[in-house]
Every structure is written in C-alpha cells, then in structure tokens.
Amino acid sequence: MTPEPVNAKTVANDSPVVSATAVDMFRKTSWIASVFVFAVGVLVIIGWLGSIHSLTKPFFSPVSMKVNTAIAFVLMGLSLWSLRGLTIQTLLISKALALVVALIGLLTLLEYHLNLNLGIDEALIADIPNAPMTSHPGRMSPLTAIDFVLLGIAIFVIDVEIRSKFRPSQFLAIAAGVIASMTIIGYVYGVESMLRLSQYLTAIALHTSIAFIIAAAGVIFARPDKGLMLFFVKDSPGSIMARRLFAAFAFAPLLIDAVLVAGRAAGYYDISKMFAINEILLTIIIASVFLHTARYINRLDDKRRLADNSYRVSEANVSALMNAITESVALIDLDCTLITVNDTFAMRFNKRKQEIIGKNLRDILAPVLFETRYKAIEEVIISKEHVSAEDIRAGITFVTNYYPVFDAENKVRAVVIYARDITLRKNYENYLLASLREKEALMREIHHRVKNNLQIISGLINLQLNNITDKTYAEMFTETKNRIRSIALVHNKLYQSKGLSDVDLKQYITSLTNELFHTFGINKDTIALTLDVEDVTIGIDSAVPIGLIINELFTNALKYAFPNKTAGKITISTHKKDGGEIELIISDNGIGLPEAINFKDTQSLGLHLVNILVGQIRGTIELDRTLGTKFVIRFLAD
C-alpha cells in the first residue's frame, strides 16, 4: 500500500511566508502590555494605601479604580507575563492566575445579579464615602467584571484551537477590547450611559478602560503566529499594510476627537471649527500613513524583483551544474513531487526533463521501489540528517543518497536525491574480497603445514630420545624439542586466530606453560603458577622470539629454582606501558641465580639464547636477585 505524503497539508499552509520580525514585535508588545497592566494595578494600590487620589482617580476620570480592580490587574499582568515561558510550570501559573481574575469578575457579577454582598468589595481597603458614580462602596463596575471574566477565560484557553485558525481566546479578548473601547468613546463624547449598564450601577473608570484595551491586545499578541493573528504576521503586501494601517485607522480618529473635544470644552473653538480641524487632521494622518506604507511596500517589491532575478540566474546556474553531473540528481518537495531534475535522472526513465518535472515519484516508480524511497525520505525529514541506501536494479548496483534542504527556520523544506552507479566499484570490491579470502586460506594452510612439520620434527626427536641413555644428551634433546614446540605453538595459534598475523599472548603463555609442566612431570600443587597477563596481541615477528624466551626462562625455573622438588611459585606477567611498550616479567621465589653467574655472559646455551632473542626484538632485559629470580624484559609491540 502506498504511504500518504509527509505533511502535505502542513507544507501548503505552514510558515515560510511568516515574518519572524513581525512575530517578535507582537510578542514583545504582549510582554510590554503585561508590564503596563501590572504597573497600573500596583500604582492604584499604592494610591489607595497612601491616600494618593491622583493615582486612584486621575484628573481626567470622574470615577476611581477600585482596590479589587487594581488587584485583578496585578494578577492579570503576572498571568500575561508568565505566558512568555513555554514550560509546564509557567503555563500552569499563568492559567491559575487567570482563573483567579475570572473568579473575581464572576463573583462581582453574582453580587450585582443576586443583590448580595460577599465581602470582597472592601475586604482590604474601604472605599471613600459617597464615591461618585458608585452604587456599592468598593465594588467594581459590571463592565469591569465582564471584562475580567472574558480576559481571564481568554488567558486560560489561550492555546486551545477548536478548528484551523480559530482560537476562542482571541475572540474573547476582542470582545473585552470592544467593551473597553465603547466606554472610552463614552468618555470622549461625554455619553455617561456608555460608562455603566445603568445609572444605578457603578461606572467604569477611564484608566480602567485604557488598561483593559492594553490587556486585550496583550492576550491577542501573546500567540502572534496562531489564529487570526496569522494574517497580520505574514510576509505579504496585504499583511504588511494591515499591520501599518490597522492601528492608525482604529485609534487615530478617537485620539483626535478626544483632543478636539477637550479643546472645545476649554473654549478654544466652536463645534464647526472642531469638525473642520478633525477632517484636516484625519486626512493628514491617514494620507501620511498610507503613503508611508505604500512606499515601504514598493521597497519590498523592488527587493523581491531583485531576488527573483537573482533566483532565475541562480536557478539557471544550478540547472547547468546539475546537468554537468553524470549521476542522477533530483530535488523533491515533502509531497515527493519532483521540483527539478538533471538530464541523467530523466534519461533513467527514458524521458526529457520537461516531461518529468512536476510529477510525483509514486507515478514514475514501481510501488515496491517507491515505498523503499519513501521510507528513506521520511527518515531524512524526521532525523534532519543525510541517509544513504544501496539497491540493485537490472543487475546494476546503485547507492542513493538523500540530503535534507532547510529553510531559514531550520525546517526541512525539500530533499535532494543523488543516485550513483557503483557497479564497477562493487565488482572490484567483490574481487578484492575473494582475493583476500584466497590469501587468508593460503596463509592458514601455510601456518598449519609449518606447525605439522615442526610437530613431525618434535616427534622424531622424541623417538630418538628413547634410544639415548646419557642424561646430558637426553636433556639437550628435550630442551631442543621444547624449543621446537614453542615455535610450533606460535604457528598453531596463528592458524586458529582470525587475523592470521597476531598471537594472543595470554592464550599462548597458558598453553606453553601447561605443556612444559606436562613435559617435566611437575605437579602444579607443588609449584604454583600465577599468570597476570593483560589482553595483548603481538605479531609473528615478535611471537616466535618471545615464545622461545618464555620457554627458556620458565624451563630454567622449573629445573633449577626448586631443588629436591620443594614447593614454590612462578609468576609470569605482561603489561602495556606508555609509548606502545610491553613489559614481560618472569619470576620465581626459588633459590635464585648464583651471584657468580653473569647472565649476559655465560656458557649456558639457554641464557645465551635469551640474550640473542631480546636483541632480535630490540628489547631490554634486567635481572633482579632480591627475592629469588626475576627477569624483566621490555620491548615494543609490532
């Protein structure tokens, strides 16, 4: 079954056209709004605590902001600020504070509706006596309570999306902003009925309305790339114009009217002049903003034209470069549609480039082959890393590489497919592997035959020993046989090893000492052997000399260190040192080497052979007579 395309719908509607600058601007505005709302609440609380009436009821507002209103603004500011963090803890804090704000508004509405006094109006600070436009001392306006309910719920459900591009939080915030705007219009034009639901109920303060508009904007701007806000942050002419003109058209008339009404009230001009000035100022402001926006859009359009020209030149260069590549190259989108290909890729399907560009891979590949390609493409999109795969088609071996193509936001937007015919290389690799296996078999056979030949020689010496009665000659033949066995054991270990050129020193020493114990008929309970051998491998050039050295020194210890078959201990250890050096120590706690014997200048064939072999491996040898006999040999590993 053919898989579904990867993120086909997301690719069409995702954010390559979103302006990161606009998103950042709106987010910062939301943070500033949270600080403003918090500061308004704090200043009003300070005004109530210090009886500073200019903070609780500024000169331009006939109504004071109540204490519980100020507390709710403080909580709302903190809730908005907490939306900055995307951690679960900060979001939970934000939602909890928002619920408290909504609860304050809801309880106040219940007080009005049921004519109750729940004790929340003057719980902290008592209102001033006979406060103007106040139905109940300390109680906020019903309009204020409704806005707190709307904005509290809006923050609580800020990340809820019912369907594509529809976020309830934004509509709730817009409703709260509209209510606050209507009250400001009431203040500007002196319509007292717009400040409260009834002449018997508390009116909303002007600075409360202003704070609500700022708070509503903060909620809407908190998620600027979601819902309705997505239109305003797109990097398109319509969205750019909307960002620049919306605020001017929405607030400029109101601000101008507020100033002009205040001037008329002060007696600077009559109503006819006020309307004339209003028209002039509106025309100037709207024309200035419109022309400035048009100029900005023209600059963007010029940049886009230059970018388009550069893109066409770049596309031509890329096309020429791709056609110069003798291997198959294609660029596909996340829906597996071919964006561009080179001539070699098109020739694989016996088509021209124009016939294949725009088609989907599933339409030109066999179903089984498409599923294989699709899995690799999906892995590239998920891992954002290069993926490589080999396959054989019609006797030809291909290696296909898939490379992710990223956009400015580090999202995978396309995938490059690069397929190369490696049949000749694979044939040569197979030839080399076959040749290597033949050589390994030959080397194994050589080691096997050398080992067998040495064992035959050892066997012949053993037969000859049966006819030798002289003890001195018998010992000489036995030592020679042991030396041959130590060499044969090296070839046996090489024959059994995987690499055919390295010997595991630990296994070799264990086997060699076991054979020597058996040769001399010594019980291990009498002479104990301690092996402290690290996992060290040595090459054949060192293995034979080291084997003979261990054979000689271990044999001497068995024969001479413990006269009259007394009990003792022999220790063999190997350790890796710095610089690739290996240290081999063979020691015993026997009677020790006589002081009169100079082991480097002696008539003993065994010790003389040891010195020759140490020089052969370019090593050093030292003798310690402190406790028995201890030979320390150091050499470099192959």
% of the chain surpassing 70 pLDDT? 84
Nearby residues of 536 by Cβ (< 8 Å), 6 or more positions away: 504, 505, 506, 574, 576, 582, 637
Instruction: Record the tokens describing residue 223, joined without a space.
Output: 């998620």
Has residue 418 got a pLDDT over 60?
yes
Cβ(399)–Cβ(393) below 8 Å:
no
Average pLDDT over residues 305-323: 67
Nearby residues of 270 by Cβ (< 8 Å), 6 or more positions away: 264
* Residue, of 463 and 65, whose pLDDT is higher: 65
* Residue, of 397 and 40, whose pLDDT is higher: 40
Instruction: Record the tokens describing residue 328, joined without a space.
Output: 């198959």
CA neighbor of 505 nearest in space, from 493, 496, 515, 514: 493
Number of Cβ within 10 Å of residue 459's Cβ equals: 12
Three-class SS state of 603: coil
**Residue 16 gets which letter from DSSP?**
T
pLDDT score for 9: 35
Pairing mode, strands 527-533 and 568-576: parallel
Has residue 3 got a pLDDT over 50?
no
Average pLDDT of the residues of the chain = 80
Band of residue 14 on the pLDDT scale cut at 50, 70, 90: very low
Band of residue 11 on the pLDDT scale cut at 50, 70, 90: very low
Number of Cβ within 10 Å of residue 183's Cβ equals: 26
Band of residue 13 on the pLDDT scale cut at 50, 70, 90: very low
CA pair distance 330, 322, nearest whole angstrom: 9
Q: What is the pLDDT of residues 67-94, one digit of tens each?
A: 999 999 999 999 999 987 667 888 899 9
Nearby residues of 199 by Cβ (< 8 Å), 6 or more positions away: 192, 193
* Residue, of 33 and 310, whose pLDDT is higher: 33
**Residue 575 gets which letter from DSSP?**
E
* Residue, of 16 and 163, whose pLDDT is higher: 163
Has residue 496 got a pLDDT over 70?
no
For 261-294, give the secondary structure using H, E and C.
Answer: HHHHHCCCCCHHHHHHHHHHHHHHHHHHHHHHHH
**Residue 597 gets which letter from DSSP?**
-
Has residue 499 got a pLDDT over 60?
no
* Residue, of 535 and 139, whose pLDDT is higher: 139
pLDDT score for 398: 75
Q: 138-162: buried (b, 16+ CB within 10 Å) or exposed (e) per residue? A: bbbbbbbbbbbbbbbbbbbebeeee
The 338-341 sheet, strands edge to edge: 338-341, 328-333, 412-421, 396-406, 387-393
Has residue 488 got a pLDDT over 80?
no
Query: What residues pair up with 538 in beta bridges, in sequence order?
Result: 503
Cβ(593)–Cβ(522) below 8 Å:
no
User: What is the secondary structure of 88-131 as a DSSP string?
Assistant: HHHHHHHHHHHHHHHHHHHHHHHHHHHT---S-TTSSSPPPTT-
Radius of gyration of the chain (CA): 47
Band of residue 12 on the pLDDT scale cut at 50, 70, 90: very low
Band of residue 149 on the pLDDT scale cut at 50, 70, 90: very high
Find where tokens 């270990």 sit: 493
φ/ψ of 601, rounded to 5, equals -145, 80
Q: What is the pLDDT of residues 113-139, one digit of tens each?
A: 898 888 888 888 888 888 888 888 888
CA pair distance 491, 511, nearest whole angstrom: 13
Q: Which of 145-154, 165-174, 457-466 has the highest mean pLDDT?
A: 145-154
Number of Cβ within 10 Å of residue 376's Cβ equals: 16
Band of residue 1 on the pLDDT scale cut at 50, 70, 90: very low
Query: What residues pair up with 588 in beta bridges, in sequence order?
Result: 570, 629
CA pair distance 158, 163, nearest whole angstrom: 14
Band of residue 430 on the pLDDT scale cut at 50, 70, 90: confident
pLDDT score for 17: 67
CA neighbor of 70 nearest in space, from 97, 99, 40, 94: 40
Has residue 305 got a pLDDT over 50?
yes
Band of residue 447 on the pLDDT scale cut at 50, 70, 90: low
Q: What is the pLDDT of residues 577-631, one digit of tens each?
A: 888 888 999 999 988 888 878 888 777 777 888 888 888 888 899 988 888 899 9
End-to-end CA distance of the chain: 57
pLDDT score for 374: 85
CA pair distance 206, 287, nearest whole angstrom: 30
Average pLDDT over residues 471-492: 70
pLDDT score for 176: 94
Cβ(135)–Cβ(201) below 8 Å:
yes
Q: What is the pLDDT of residues 555-573, one digit of tens each?
A: 888 888 888 778 889 999 9
Sign of CA dihedral 66, 70, 75, 79: positive
